[in-house]
Amino acid sequence: MHRARGLHDLLRDERPAGERDRRLTDRAVAGLRGAGALRGWVPESFGGAGLDLAGMVQLVREVTRADPAAGWLVMILGVGDWLTAQFDVRAQREVFATGPDTSTCQVLTPKGSSTRTGGGWLVSGSWAPASGCRHARWAMLGTRQPDGSSALVLVPTDELVITDTWHVLGMRATGSELLSGRELFVPDHRVLARAPLTRGDFPTEHTHPRYRMALVPALATLLTAPMLSMAEAALEHVLDRAGSRGVPFTSRARQQDSPAFQLAVAEAAAKTDAARVAADDAVRVLQQHAADGTHPDPVLRTRLRMRAVHAVRQCHRALDELITAHGAGSLAETSPLHGLLRDAQTAGRHALIDPATSAELFGRILLDLDPEITEML
* Residues 135 and 34 placed together within one structural domain of the fold: no
pLDDT digits (tens, 9 = 90+) for 180-224: 999 999 999 999 999 999 999 999 999 999 999 999 999 999 999
Provide the pairing of β-strand 104-117 with 120-130: antiparallel
Residue 372 has pLDDT above 90, yes or no: no
pLDDT score of 82: 98
Domain end marker among 135, 164, 194: 194
Band the pLDDT of 270: cuts 50, 70, 90. very high
Same domain for 240 and 340, yes or no, is: yes
DSSP state of 254: -
Q: Give the CA distances from residue 123 to residues 13, 101, 112, 371, in Å, rounded to whole numbers and listed in that order.
A: 40, 26, 7, 29
Same domain? For 254 and 129 the reply is no
Instruction: pLDDT band for 3, please (50, 70, 90 cuts).
Output: confident
Torsion angle of the four alpha carbons 20, 25, 27, 28, in this order, in degrees rounded to the nearest 10? 100
**Domain ends where: 89, 122, 146?**
89
Q: Same domain, yes or no, for 178 and 237?
A: no
Is 183 part of any domain? Answer: yes
Q: Is residue 66 part of a domain?
A: yes
Question: What is the strand order of the sheet 161-163 is part of?
Answer: 161-163, 177-187, 120-130, 104-117, 138-144, 150-156, 191-193
108 shares a domain with 67 = no
**Number of helices and strands in the chain (H, E):** 12, 7
Q: Kindly tell me the burial class for residue 280, based on how many C-beta atoms sit within 10 Å of its own C-beta (0-12, 13-18, 19 or more).
A: middle
Whole-number pLDDT of residue 373 = 83
**How confident is the model over 107-146, as pLDDT tens digits?**
999 999 999 999 999 999 999 999 999 999 999 999 999 9
* Structure confidence at residue 4 (pLDDT): 84
- What phi and psi values does residue 138 have, to the nearest 5 degrees? -135, 155
Q: Are 66 and 8 in contact (CB under 8 A)?
A: yes
In a domain, 205, yes or no: no
Amino acid, single-letter form, for residue 11:
L
For residue 62, give the CATH number of its domain.
Answer: 1.10.540.10
Secondary structure of residue 110 in the 3-state scheme: strand
| Residue at 203 is within a domain | no
Q: Distance (Å, rounded) from C-alpha 205 to C-alpha 235?
A: 43
CATH of the domain at 155: 2.40.110.10
Is it the case that residue 1 has pLDDT exceeding 80?
no
Give 153-174 pLDDT, tens digit per residue: 999 999 999 999 999 999 999 9
Domain count, the chain: 3
Helix, strand, or coil here: 133? Answer: helix
Please give, one letter per residue, the 3-state secondary structure of 164-215: CCCCCCCCHHHCCEEEEEEEEEEEHHHEEECHHHHCCCCCCCCCCHHHHCCH
Q: Is 305 exposed, middle or buried (0-12, 13-18, 19+ CB in 10 A)?
A: buried
**CATH number for the domain harbouring residue 228:** 1.20.140.10
CB atoms within 10 A of CB 326: 23
pLDDT at 88: 98
**What DSSP string runs through 29-93?**
HHHHHHTTTT-TTS-GGGT-----HHHHHHHHHHHHHH-HHHHHHHHHHHHHHHHHTTS-HHHHH
Q: How many residues does the chain have?
A: 377
When pLDDT is cut at 50, 70 and 90, the band that residue 245 belongs to is very high
Residue 208 has a CB neighbour count (10 Å cut-off) of 17
> Could you tell me if 136 and 77 lie in one domain?
no
Full domain range(s) for residue 165: 104-194
Q: How far apart are CA 330 and CA 336, in angstroms?
A: 8
229 found inside a domain: yes
Q: Considering only CA atoms, give the Rg of the chain.
A: 21
Q: Which of 22, 56, 89 is the last residue of a domain?
A: 89
Do 224 and 362 share a domain, yes or no? Answer: yes
- Contact residues for 180 (Cβ-Cβ < 8 A; gap 6+): 125, 126, 127, 160, 161, 163
| Same domain? 260 vs 308 | yes
State how far the Cα of 115 lies from the Cα of 295, in Å rounded to an integer: 33
* pLDDT attached to residue 2: 75
Let me know whether 79 and 122 are in one domain.
Answer: no
Residues 173 and 237 in one domain: no
Please give the torsion angle defined by the CA atoms of residues 6, 8, 10 and 15, in that order, rounded to the nearest 10 degrees.
160
19 with 116, same domain? no
**Is residue 206 a part of any domain in this protein?**
no
Q: What is the model's pLDDT at position 84?
A: 98
For residues 73 and 182, membership in a common domain is answered with no
Residue 371 banded pLDDT, cuts 50, 70, 90: confident
Q: What is the mean pLDDT of the chain?
A: 97
Give per-residue pLDDT as tens, 14-67: 999 999 999 999 999 999 999 999 999 999 999 999 999 999 999 999 999 999
Rounded to a whole number of angstroms, the distance between the first and last alpha carbons of the chain is 31
Average pLDDT over residues 92-114: 97
In a domain, 371, yes or no: no
Residue 343 falls inside a structural domain: yes
